[in-house]
Every structure is written in structure tokens, then in C-alpha cells.
Amino acid sequence: MSEQNNFLINRVITTGKPVFPATTVKHNTKSEADKDFSNILQEKLNEQTGVKFSKHAEARLKSRNIAISSEQMRQINEAVAKAEKKGVKESLLVMDNMALVVSIKNKTVITAVNSEELKDNVFTNIDGAVIL
């Protein structure tokens, strides 16, 4: 290298800022990634089962200690299909020890009651009922 080139290389003055600024990459936190995965998994499960549960219905099932078996889920899906064929929009499904109010159009369980609360209860805004 010539002495002049060596002088120029050694005399480079910088402002302290990088010549090529680093690009900022947004990394999802683990909780965000888990949440996304959880949501996707729940949607896929709902697609497979057909009928889904609203947050309100899930809370009612939990607070009232109502467990739904896979056989009961199959029966609920069949009942929803029957109600849909009849043109029902909002249905009351009565089965075993519980009752479910279901939006047939959205295939969503809106609320659930157990057998103790089923007595002396009035269900409104329904246009059909399926007894299983």
C-alpha cells in the first residue's frame, strides 16, 4: 500500500453512528407466541368439533361443575345439525343433567345450566328446543 493510502485508512473519522443502522426486529415474547398458538389450536379444535363455546358458556360450565364428554359433544353436534335443518336460530338443548342455549347460526353455545338450576327457570330468545 502506498503511504498516502495508509494515511487515509488510518485517518477515517466516524461520528459514532453506524454506517448501516441495525434494523429493529420485533421478537414475539414467549407469552405472545403461546397465546397465538393457543388461539390457533382452539380454532382448529372448534372446526373439528363443530360447535364452539362462548367465553360466557365456558365460565358457566366451570362455575357449575358441568363436564361434557366426547359422546355428549357428538350428541350436541347432531342436535345442532337437526335444529339447523329445521331453520331454528336459537335453540335450547336439554340433555342428561344440563341444558344449553345454542346459537345455531353461529354454532356457539351461549350459556349452560345444570339440572339444579334447570328447574323453575325461564329460557327466552329461543325459537326451538331439542331434547336429547
Residue 25 lies in a domain: no
Q: Is the pLDDT of residue 94 over 80?
A: yes
Residue 8 lies in a domain: no
Residue 113 lies in a domain: yes
| pLDDT per position as a tens digit, 67-85 | 999 899 999 999 999 999 9
Closest by alpha carbon to 107, among 84, 130, 129? 84
Residue 97 lies in a domain: yes
Beta strands in 3-123 (DSSP E): 52-53, 90-95, 98-103, 108-114
Residue 54 DSSP code? -
Residue 33 lies in a domain: no
Residue 108 lies in a domain: yes
**Residue 84: which residues within 8 A CB-CB, separation 6 or more?**
104
Residue 17 lies in a domain: no
Dist. CA 101–CA 51, nearest whole Å: 12
The model carries a pTM of 0.62
| pLDDT per position as a tens digit, 11-65 | 555 555 555 555 555 555 556 666 677 777 766 665 655 899 999 999 999 999 9
Residue 44 lies in a domain: no
| pLDDT given for residue 36 in this prediction | 76
How many domains does the structure of the chain reveal?
1
Domain span at 90: 51-131
